[in-house]
Structure 1
Amino acid sequence: MSLSRRKAISIIGGGTILAATGAAAGFLTTRQPADARRPWALAGSYDDPRLNAVSFALLAPNPHNLQPWLVELKGEAGLLLHRDPARRLPETDPFDRQIFIGLGCFIEQMVLAAGAAGHAVDLTPFPEGETGPVALATFHPGGAPDPLAAHILDRRSCKEPFEDRALPRDVVQALEPLADIHTEASMVAALRGLTWAGWEVEALTPRTMQESVDLMRFGKAEINADPDGIDLGGPMLESLMLLGIVNRAAQADPDSTGFRQGGEIYRRMLAATPAYAVLTTASNTRLDQIAAGRRWLRLNLAATRLGLSLHPVSQTLQEYPEMAVHRARAHALLASGGHTVQMLGRLGYGPATPRTPRWPLEAKLIAT
């Protein structure tokens, strides 16, 4: 995540970061991970329609930015989408539910990008069973553009406080075909409390917090070298790193100043939430999870088209023992009849945020 100047100053508590003159200023202006963001600029620059669509698909939202996809080209018009078995969240996502939601996001963005370029995609899910490839995609001319495809490059997951501004009724109605949208004051208050409780459980359970810490990339060099996981970069954060306030050890230590201040920043962010979006499915099969991912991607793009920001806060939906009470509470609030809550997100008007780092397309191709 990027840290605003205001947040950085609040963490330091008024201390000096770096002199914004001379060599220090020159240093700070270079701390953007341009290499890790290059895939966004390269999207749509490939001649092969499959690669062209994949170049957009790899920009899709996914849990902890793991980018758990691998692509194998088949013949002249096909590709197999594989799940990368090395990219899992065994502590917080022990059944890989969130991973398959992320793969669903990839599939939908690939199909949208193909349609925008005049190609249709025939999909066969799990062509060799659920332990094999996730989908076989066959491309052929004739696809129709979907208006949502125009917003792929503008989509972000905004991890910032939202404006104190209610969603207009027509905006809510535009999103309701894709998700349950909650704007009523009592439900919003309940979900603010629930999402904070979920964050506390994950952050204060050593093994689940360590899973996130292990995926943190500190500063430009780490982000460019490993453009996945949780990026902690930008001039202000790198200043805090130089001062020793932000580092891997501090992020794993609940008694550290950095940890406590980070928690307070997250609490204030959750409090600045005017609405929530919820995705449920009648059952919880792999096909349900992929379908939920496809719908989550469309919800992201629809929100972007309407000038809204969306930020997943699905900690309370995770299936490990310490979260069980909050998961049950989330389902009692948001689902009925045995349905599964697949995604929970904050929704509102947020500030512009930078593009998330991505591995280049070539790193996600399986050689055949």
Structure 2
Amino acid sequence: MRLYVLFPLLLLVALLAGCWDKIEVNDMAMIVSAGIDKIDDDQIELTVQVFIPNPTATSDGAGNGGAGGEGNVYTFSTKGSSMAEALTDLQKRLPRYFTWSHTKAYVFGEALARQGMHDEFDFLFRDIQPREQANFFICKGTAKKLLNSQIDPNTYETLIKLSQKPTTRSSTMHEVEALISGESGAFLLPTADLTTMLTNGAEKRILSISGLAVIHKKKLVGFLDNECTTGLRLLQHAVLGRNITLTRKEEEGSIIIRVMHSDMKLYPSINNGKWKMRVKVKLDADVVQNSTKLVIANGSDNLRKIEGAFNEEIKQTLIHTMEQLQKKLKTDVVGFARAFHKKYPHEWSRVREDWTPVFQSIDVELETNTRIHRPGITNVRVTQ
């Protein structure tokens, strides 16, 4: 009886397959970051930073690497007519197997981005290895130069954290894939750059975020200036935490407020073939510094006075932002296309393939309402 029970079990064990196709750590080269540049009309240059694990690293018994380290980072560059061809060429020259599953950042050089990133996006979205949480960046100049300046893979963790701050935008592969298929086909990507810092008295160059790049139909159309970046941030539903300064020359000083929250609503309309968008922006702010002679208190006339001044300044910033988007960049990254699509689906269907000239011609009416809730905990003047 026992033989009848044991025989099927032994048969099942014999049929169990082992990990015959697994790749050992000794054979792996993990791509930490990748930079893609345009060389000429039919050639790109792929630069990858590769982490090669060190299986001989010692351990302290708790799973932590010891003094031997856990691996090394190397930078390689190769050329090809596509990312797949360039990677294949690189694979031929090195014995280890390259994997995209640990890639944290993809940096697109300015020349490639302006010509269009269609093929590169297609490769990354189609391949099963790149993880959806990897981040996309644009850089001024070449991505090769940017990556060659870095030897520490932890730098990319800093870059990604910076891109997730409210001052920029976090654009993962998953987010970009969704935005590309959106109504306007436009979105923003963080601009990666180098900044210098002092470490133990020595200068060190690290990766940082220097602004935002505007992408339309998978092409770079331009970079936002500081005022336009501020304007776009004010148009977002987010905790901003940014100091916006208004100088009161007549009072021999300045007042600084921190915009804590913004609420933006879009009201699209089409009358007699004229497309119009009414934009209402409500801002909540606190006073963080007052070097004027004004005494500011809750409910005072002075508080209402500076609210009006800030309200006008913010409105001018938003006007500048919309002028840049409509006239210079010709790209809708505010969400006008989606608003019209939701309210006027039939009219939208007729212009969706040619949205850019329609966006440029939209009459934009801006309404701003700035409220200062907290003037601070003191009214004592500390100025001379």
> Into which bin does the TM-score normalised by the smaller protein fall?
under 0.3
Q: TM-score, normalised by structure 1?
A: 0.27
Q: TM-score, normalised by structure 2?
A: 0.26
Larger radius of gyration: 2
Which protein has greater RCO, CA pairs closer than 8 Å, 6+ apart? 1
- Structure richer in strand, relative to its length: 2
